[in-house]
Structure 1
Amino acid sequence: MVEAASGARAGAATPSAVEVVRVEEKHAEALAEFFRQVWDPGATAETVRRDRATAAAVNPLGAGEDVPTFAFLSEGRALGYVTTIPAPLWSGGTEHRAHWVKGLWVLPEHRNGPIGFLLLKEAVRHLGCAMAMVVAPAPRRLFGALGFRDLGALPNHLRILRPARVLRRLELEKLGMEGIPGWAPTALRLAQRSGVASAAGAGAALALRLWSTVCGRSAGFALDSPAEVDAAEVDRLWQRARDALPAASIRDGSTLRWRYGGRTEKPYSFVAARRGGELAAVAVVRHPRPGGDERLAGLRVAVLSEVIFSPGRSRAGMAAIAGAERTARDLGADALLCSASHPALAALLPRRAFLRLPGNVHFM
């Protein structure tokens, strides 16, 4: 039997042989070895310490606070790992501390055991308010066993930027989404083989452009793509927006720059929409993978990670979305994906020719 106290211990093992720990500086070498096996062949104890120090220095919940991270150790060797993203929340007119749980990983030869459960159990014990985005049923059951409530799948919205290429290469059966009709994959394959998909794509491109022009107009806003956002400007935008939001992740200037800025090779681009010199909306676009997404036959999908605007200023939001589409095209994306749940944003996306797709990412 395993319990999480100062660290979780298992079975007849000696107290220090098997434990779940909140990572400290002394665990840097064990983490570096784990990272080399799983993600980064060049990881070292020094890079682990440096990255943790950098994250702590700009932690939006408190400068200098380490970002909670947990490891399952056996004889000093890391077999499993989970970390968090600090995520201050706005609810009921006040700010609250919270974290996203992310990056749960167990070495393949040690799966189908208690390691994942014990890691999450220890994380929950430390975190207080915790949230997660989960896709597969098995992890959802694991989170549910630890008290997380499944609030359902976030709806996906997809703006196809290059319809002909998408229709030629898309494989519906690999999307892993619920609600796709059983006949659709076969019909699409037939269209691809016959050449109909390319012709249909050309027609679709024209139709989507016309629809977004007529229904999603956003004239009167100046768009630009700054390398970084001005924290004071974003603070003022967030203060205007938050009063109309019963609950939301805080998106002030420091949080936005911490989450998406300050990287030499950052995978994000900012879009700013201004009117009369005032910042009216901000969007953040995650770059597509350089080689495309192997799950989508190599299609390049950018992600609309953030759109910040006052809910009462829908045209500002529309302008930011239009700017995000342009940025995604410039990055070579075939499509732009947005998982939006707030009605103010969800209502704008269809007007910019985003198609609603079945969701597969559950908010817990």
Structure 2
Amino acid sequence: MHREYRAGAIHSDERHHRWLFDDNPDNGAEGPQYWIYQKEGTIHGQQAGIPFALFVNGAARRASWAINLKVTPAYQMRGIGGVLSEIYLRDNEVTAAVNVTEAARKAFLRAGWEFLGRIPKYVRPLRTAGIRAGLPGALRGLAPLFYPLLLVVDGWWWSYLRLHGFRMEPVAAFDPRIDQVWNEASDAYPVVGRRDYTRLRWRFDAAPDPRRYHRFYLFQGGRLSGYAVLRYSIRNGRRVAVVVDFLCPPRLLRALFALCLQQARHAGMDDLQTVMCHCPGRTGTLLSLGFLQRDSSEHEFLVHYGKEEDVTRHLLGNRHNWFVTMADCDLEWMFLREHETEPEQQV
């Protein structure tokens, strides 16, 4: 099916394929979640999944992110996609998807999936170029006036960080200490995918190109309290830092993202961006740091949860209960795209 992807697409990269499917630590005894429809030696359809452990009110569920449902044009409208998806759903208690094609979306809804809305994108300009790009055309000339206001906001937050003993330290790779963050923070999120040492080591340190990820530990005083993973990219001619993943207790989200802003500014980026769902009651967390929220039709969120009990169904059926970052599903690769380049960092 590689010919169905555009040239250079990450899903046609053999290293990426082996890592994502063969090496996933949450694979079951049956092996990778990858199904194909083949006729006369030629593959005409596929459905893949990224298995993970989903914790719903602290109880683990066997879950998977649905990706790469594709059927070659000559074999579409024959029910092949529906059959592949039906077989896939049997393997999971909870199945979720983001960024599906319109054809896949219709097939999923017919199969009983629920549409939970769109996962928002957040953008925080750091320099005049970033502010100008975020303003309507008629107002872009005012960008230099907004920049000093953002510096005032940043100055206030940096004073807050110093006063309360917050700091962020870079690490070359995750280590077993990160289990402490998962154990202490995960219960605060009603629906969250496991982010322990084993999972993070696979997701970032064992990835085909781990150097693209910049890992940071959040400390308050001497206590490890969270982490963040950033990537630097050039999008539409601007230097952009992207928060790919993070975790901390909800009360520390502002401190964590304020420190991410510091790191992005130090690296010479124009913007800090992310796509995420976070815990209930925290909508204003990023807005208070100067982020702008933008809904995107690209990030439609669908879930299938079978025969879960009523309480669990209530939690899973509300997008605002989910903790989702760009490290989940294939959000990172769909957002950054493969053709975008890594910028040189300022020192």
**For residue 246 of structure 2, what is the amino acid of its counterpart?**
V
Q: 1:100-141 CA deviation, whole Å, 9 max, x = no partner?
A: 111233445655654433332232233342111136554322
CA shift for structure 1 position 61: 5.1
Measured in 1, the distance between the counterparts of 2:125 and 2:144 equals 12
Moved more, 123-132 or 144-153: 123-132
- 8 A contact 1:285–1:302 mirrored in 2: yes
Q: 1:55-104 CA deviation, whole Å, 9 max, x = no partner?
A: 54451356x76220122223221223332112211123322211111123
Q: Which residue of 1 aligns with 2:243?
A: 304
Count of residue correspondences: 295
In the alignment, structure 1 segments of 5+ residues that lack a partner are 1-33, 171-183
Q: Which residue of 1 aligns with 2:18?
A: 52
**For residue 278 of structure 2, what is the amino acid of its counterpart?**
S
Q: 2:273 aligned with 1:336, yes or no? A: yes
| Residues 137-156 of structure 1: pairs in structure 2 closer than 5 A | 137-156=102-121
Q: 1:161-198 CA deviation, whole Å, 9 max, x = no partner?
A: 33435635x7xxxxxxxxxxxxx9xxx34x3xxxx62x
Larger CA Rg, structure 1 vs 2: 1
Q: 2:197 aligned with 1:253, yes or no? A: yes
- 8 A contact 1:98–1:127 mirrored in 2: yes
CA shift for structure 1 position 53: 7.2
Measured in 2, the distance between the counterparts of 1:264 and 1:272 equals 22
Taking a change above 3 Å as real, the CA distance of residues 49 and 229 of structure 1, as seen in their structure-2 partners, is closer
Q: Which residue of 1 aligns with 2:149?
A: 207
- 8 A contact 2:123–2:271 mirrored in 1: no
- 8 A contact 2:19–2:208 mirrored in 1: no
- Aligned residue for 1:228, secondary structure, equals coil
**For residue 277 of structure 1, what is the amino acid of its counterpart?**
G
- Given the two structures, how large is their TM-score scaled by the length of structure 2? 0.72
Measured in 1, the distance between the counterparts of 2:243 and 2:47 equals 25
Q: 1:218-251 CA deviation, whole Å, 9 max, x = no partner?
A: 2212212212121x21111111112333332121
- Aligned residue for 1:342, secondary structure, equals coil
Identify which of structures 1 and 2 has the higher relative contact order when contacts are C-alpha pairs closer than 8 Å and 6+ apart.
Answer: 2
Q: Which residue of 2 aligns with 1:21?
A: none
- Given the two structures, how large is their TM-score scaled by the length of structure 1? 0.69
Q: Which residue of 1 aligns with 2:256?
A: 320
- Aligned residue for 2:255, secondary structure, equals helix
- 8 A contact 1:328–1:336 mirrored in 2: no
- 8 A contact 2:69–2:104 mirrored in 1: no
- Aligned residue for 1:122, secondary structure, equals helix
- 8 A contact 1:271–1:320 mirrored in 2: no
Q: 2:21 aligned with 1:84, yes or no? A: no
Choose the corresponding residue for 2:62, options 84, 90, 97.
Answer: 97
Taking a change above 3 Å as real, the CA distance of residues 65 and 279 of structure 1, as seen in their structure-2 partners, is farther
Q: 2:210 aligned with 1:268, yes or no? A: no
- 8 A contact 1:225–1:270 mirrored in 2: yes
